[in-house]
Amino acid sequence: MYLSYYGFNKGPFHITPDPEFLFLSPTHKEALGAIIYGIEQRKGFVAITGEVGVGKTTILRSYLEGQALPHTSKKKVIYVFNANLSFQSLLKVICSELGVVPKTEDAFETVNELHKTLIEEYKQGNNVVLILDEAQNVPVETLENLRMLSNLETSKEKLIQMILIGQPEFQAKLGLDKLRQLNQRIAIRSNIVPLSREESIMYIRHRLSLVTDRWEGVFTRRAMDLIVDEAKGIPRVINILCDNTLIAGLGYQAKPVGRRIVREVIADYKGRRRMLRLRWGIALAALLVLGASALLLAPVKGFLPEIRAFRDRAVSTVSDAARMAPVTGTPTRMPVPVDAAKPEIPQTGNAEVSKNTPTVEPQPRLDQSESAQTVSAPPPVRSEAYSGAVGVAGATVHQPAGNPPVSADQVPSVFRRDESAPARTIEVPSRIIKRGETLSSIIRDTYGVVNAHLFELIRQNNPQITDADRILAGGQLFLPRISQPPERAEAAVPGVVR
């Protein structure tokens, strides 16, 4: 795909174990030497361990295909990919590869027949090699019976060589007490470790040098550093990141590929960018659905209240999506727009109340026929986490021009202020909802009483609350200030136990 653009004669970063791209770090050389010595000198059991993707299979295939060193003996290789076999099934595989037809299902008799065949192979100068890949998946019972095959030997040499290749869990399995006899029979062991930082850089350059003469102009040094840091010395991960980076580099027409493209590839490799796009996509879809609902369902006469309700739900939806997204820098505060029907209140102290105008708590929302009155709010309560919340408690009721003024006697007794009681202001900050708390208990702890007006006041300042009976622990609740003694605002609330 990107070969011609970068001038490659073949792909340099395939994840298949290609012996042509063999790179030998010190531990890779040690593992290769263990395989060569164990097979050529007929030592019996050889164990090679290493983490996933470090190149165990590449080392083995390099030897078997003669890429590492020329063979000094004729070999018959039995390669078992699926090592999760019973011992009887494993014997059938060995016999099938050697052309032996077992006369019985008894494992002991089958081993005796196999012994005769191995002696004939030895006389012909053939070296039979059994390779068990992914040896950590071999059942314990099968491993325990493998020692029966180790007894197939002459007075000087083993008749069958067994190469056990597995992850670190295989070494831990060999430490079991019931496998101590097999563990003692392993003549040669080697462990392949991840590449160091410098070895990883050399690994990338080695692979590029095999496919192009201009390997220096493919990656910048900073780009390779990012790949190496992310791969943590695992050759397979290096191949995946390099291959995806070159694909992205072709899309950007970048030569050499820089660290910005590598960062994008790493983010996609970890799934971060995909998850972030998914979350914002869900938020955008919610906004579109809410907008369509407002346009289709809202009547013309009551269009403005529906738009305001849509605005509150949209802001709440976007805020929830922003909280879900990973934070990559300083968070941006999103102010909640103030209702256009509410007048702007200057940021001064407690609002002074005219002697001729009674100060009352705001009444619950009126119907359309009663919407001529507007509520003027005192200075809003500002906090770090919530910019734009406006408290409406202790408001002054204004009557539009042309209507008779509202007297103090006309104000419902529930919301009428007692002029004989000294006024006081309760400053209440925003707070986090704790587990087990209810809206009633929070109102009682904050204001000292519970009534319908305080419920409506909290709902107006917290548009994210859609059900007063359900508030989530960990959420933020914004509590406005009031300029009236709570004990004077007592009112019966159905279902609230005082």
Do the beta carbons of residue 377 and residue 391 sit within 8 Å? yes
Cα–Cα distances in angstroms (integers) from residue 406 to residues 14, 367, 373, 411, in the given order: 83, 18, 10, 8
The DSSP annotation for 111-164 comes to HHHHHHHHHHHHHTTEEEEEEESSGGGS-HHHHHHTHHHHT-B-SSSBSEEEEE
Percentage of the chain beyond pLDDT 70 is 64
pLDDT exceeds 50 at position 349: no
Q: Angle CA(222)–CA(227)–CA(233) in degrees, nearest 5?
A: 125
Average pLDDT rounded to a whole number, residues 49-57: 93
C-alpha to C-alpha distance for 458 and 442, rounded to whole angstroms = 10
Q: How far is CA 491 from CA 309, 393, 453, in A?
A: 28, 15, 8
List 127's β-bridge partners, or say none: 75
pLDDT at residue 3 greater than cutoff 60: yes
DSSP β-ladder status, 476-477 and 431-432: antiparallel
How far apart, in Å, do the first and last CA atoms of the chain sit? 74
For residues 296-307, average pLDDT: 53
How far apart, in Å, are the Cα atoms of 383 and each of 57, 225, 476? 61, 44, 12
**Average pLDDT for 150-162:** 88
Q: Considering the chain, what is the average pLDDT of its residues?
A: 75
CB 116 within 8 A of CB 59: no
For the stretch 170-198, pLDDT in tens is: 999 999 999 999 999 999 999 999 999 99
Q: Name the range with the highest mean pLDDT among 223-227, 270-274, 341-345.
A: 223-227
pLDDT band of residue 277 (cuts 50, 70, 90) is low
**pLDDT number for residue 73:** 63
Structure confidence at residue 215 (pLDDT): 80
Q: Determine which of 20-24, 81-85, 92-96, 127-131 has the lowest per-residue pLDDT on average.
A: 81-85
| For range 240-264, the mean pLDDT | 93
What pLDDT is attached to residue 206? Answer: 94
Per the CB < 8 A criterion, the answer to whether 455 and 496 are in contact is no
Token pair in block for residue 359: 């100060």
Query: Which of 9-13, 47-51, 61-65, 467-471 has the least mean pLDDT?
Result: 467-471
What pLDDT digit, counting tens, does each position of 443-475 carry?
Answer: 888 888 888 888 888 888 888 887 777 787 878
Mean pLDDT of the region 61-80: 76
Section 115-133 average pLDDT: 92
pLDDT digit string, tens, across residues 28-51: 999 999 999 999 999 999 999 999
Highest-pLDDT range among 137-141, 318-322, 382-386:
137-141
Percent of the chain with pLDDT over 90: 39
How does residue 290 score in pLDDT terms, banded at 50, 70 and 90?
low
pLDDT exceeds 70 at position 292: no
Q: Per residue in 75-99, pLDDT tens?
A: 899 999 888 999 999 999 999 999 8
Backbone angles phi, psi at 179, to 5 degrees: -105, 15
Which residue would you say has higher pLDDT here, 334 or 325?
Answer: 325
pLDDT, one tens digit per residue, over 388-433 is: 333 333 333 344 444 444 444 444 444 444 445 444 444 546 788 8
User: Looking at residues 92-118, what average pLDDT do you find?
Assistant: 89
Q: Is the peptide bond before 358 cis (omega within 30 degrees of 0)?
A: no
Helix axes 272-297, 259-270, angle to 10 degrees: 70
DSSP states of 232-283 as a string? Answer: TT-HHHHHHHHHHHHHHHHHHT-SSB-HHHHHHHHHHHHTHHHHHHHHHHHH
